Structure 1
Amino acid sequence: MADITMYNLPGCPYCAKVRSKLDDLGLEYDVIEVPRSHDERTEVEAVSGQTGVPVITDEANDIVGMNESDDIVDYLEETYA
C-alpha cells in the first residue's frame, strides 16, 4: 500500500492532470475510483468534506483530503520534485 491515495473519476480531466504529475514524478500511489453520482461518493466526502475529485491523501506528510488539481500538482512538485 502506497502512502499516497488518489480519489479518481475515469474521464475527469482534472484527475488526469494529477495522475500525470504523479506518474511524471515516479510516485507510487493507490487509486480509488469514485462513482459518477455525487450522491454516492460517500468515501471521498468522508475524507475531504466534499464530493468533487481529484482528492489525494499523503500519509507520509499528514495530508488528508487535499482537493483542487492545481493545488495538488503544486504540492506534489514542492514535496517530491
Structure 2
Amino acid sequence: MASDITMYVLEGCPYCEAVTDRLEEAGIDYEREEVPALHSGRDEVKRVSGQRAVPVLIDESHGVTMAESENILEYVERTLA
C-alpha cells in the first residue's frame, strides 16, 4: 500500500534527516524520494513544490505541500503524530 506522505530529501542533509527521523519516531509511513545534490537536477521537486530546496513534504490526504524543515516538523507534530 502506498503512503499518502512523500518526502523529498537529500542524503546527508541534516534538515532532511531531522524530519525523516521525526516521522520514523512517530511511526508515520512515508515514501522517500532521494534528490540529486545539484539543484539543477531537482526538476521533480520544482514541479511539485515550486522550488528546488529540500526537504519537501507532500501529504496527499490533506492536500498539503510544504518546505522548510521547521514548518514540516511543526506540521508533523500538529497534524500527523
TM-score range, shorter chain: over 0.9
Structure-to-structure mapping, 1:63-74, within 5 angstroms = 63-64=64-65, 66-74=66-74
4+ residue stretches of structure 1 with deviation over 2 A? none
Unaligned runs of 5+ in 2: none
Q: Which residue of 2 aligns with 1:62?
A: 63
Identity level (%): 49
Indicate the RMSD between aligned Cα atoms, in angstroms: 0.6
Who is 1:15 aligned against?
16
Matches of 1:56 and 1:71, distance apart in 2 = 10
**Which letter maps to 1:32?**
E
Distance in 2 separating the partners of 1:63 and 1:12: 22
What is the SS of the residue equivalent to 1:22? Answer: helix
Offset of residue 24 of structure 1? 1.1
Aligned length: 80
What's the TM-score, normalizing by structure 2?
0.96
The 5 A counterparts of 1:34-73 are 34-64=35-65, 66-73=66-73
TM-score, with length taken from structure 1: 0.96
Encode CA deviations 1:19-77: one digit per residue, 9 max, x unaligned. Answer: 0110111000001100011001000010111110000100111112x000000000000
Paired AA for residue 55 in structure 1 = V
